[in-house]
Amino acid sequence: MILVVGAKGMLGQDLMRVLPGDVRGVDIEEIDITSPESVRRVLLTLKPRVVVNCAAYTDVDGCETNVDLAMRVNGDGVGHLAAATREIGALLVQVSTDYVFDGTKGTPYVEDDRVNPLSVYGKSKLVGEKKARENPDHLIVRTQWLYGHGGKNFVETMLRLAGERTEIAVVDDQIGSPTWTADLSLAITELIENNCRGTYHAANRGTCSWYEFARAIFAEAGVGMTVRPQSTEELGRPAPRPLYSVLDCDKLTHDAGLELEDWREALKNYLERRQPAVRS
């Protein structure tokens, strides 16, 4: 059985749809990953052969002020999962982020590039990666700029703002690859099915700035909106973010035989299938 932890989150919901075979999901009501007792109780009862951890504290700016919570959920919580999966002989799949990089490389990041997170969120996720490795049977999947059904994300934010105003300013100096959670779920499935272990990058193909992404969202959705470029400095958000965090996904293609579709195709497919968000 495959157990998805954080099954009600944005990625968790798509994983529950995409993962094959006997799949169960738990979220904060059944398991609190900050509690070693809670984690051990659930895992020793259910005895899954694979645990995919999607539970996290994902409010990047919120992490800057709630440092302790960020570390307990994104760092220590993964340690508790690593210990319990190790005890029952299960594979731990940990989802991580491009924000473990500082964005200064200038070309796509490969898996063993130097990490140097800028934000509390990035630092806490890096602790999570280190903790995941405490179970030798682990798979760390770094991804980025996620959007999907039933989640708070950039695409849904843009579409909501389209109903409230006619002009918006969006940063044009951060470059990455927007990634649809349905496509990422396919990548995670293939990595598991191909018995891959260690660290992998998985994102939709192609790159853009958030500004270009916003323009594509409005164009694809057929919404009239003036999008004005602005710099990260002008925006002045609390958390520093990497300026260039494109992930090189060649290892995924080589080992799992999968290349994710281009981000524009993925966006089109998402918007065609989009239903109103289950949770906002």
Ligand X SMILES: Cc1cn([C@H]2C[C@H](O)[C@@H](COP(=O)(O)OP(=O)(O)O[C@H]3O[C@@H](C)C(=O)[C@@H](O)[C@H]3O)O2)c(=O)[nH]c1=O
The three-class DSSP label of residue 11 is helix
With contact defined as beta carbons under 8 Å apart, do 138 and 94 qualify? Answer: yes
Distance between CA atoms of residues 78 and 100, nearest Å: 16
Distance between CA atoms of residues 71 and 271, nearest Å: 34
C-alpha closest to that of 158 among 245, 237, 226, 57: 226
Residue with smaller CB distance to ligand NDP, 144 or 226: 144
Give the residues lining the site for ligand NDP (CB under 6 A). Answer: 6, 8-12, 27-28, 31-34, 54-58, 73, 77, 95, 97, 125, 143-146, 151
Distance between CA atoms of residues 250 and 242, nearest Å: 21
Distance between CA atoms of residues 233 and 245, nearest Å: 17
Shortest distance, position 161 Cβ to ligand NDP, whole Å: 18
| Residue 154 touching ligand X (CB under 6 A) | yes
The residue within the footprint of ligand X, chosen from 13, 53, 85, 144 (CB under 6 A), is 144
Shortest distance, position 104 Cβ to ligand X, whole Å: 17
Shortest distance, position 246 Cβ to ligand NDP, whole Å: 13
Report the partner that residue 168 touches, choosing among ligand NDP, ligand X, none (CB closer than 5 to 8 A by kind). Answer: ligand X
| Residue 263 touching ligand X (CB under 6 A) | no
Looking at residue 131, the DSSP 8-state letter turns out to be: H
Q: Catalytic residue positions? A: 121
The three-class DSSP label of residue 258 is coil
| Residue 168 touching ligand X (CB under 6 A) | yes
Report the partner that residue 208 touches, choosing among ligand NDP, ligand X, none (CB closer than 5 to 8 A by kind). Answer: none
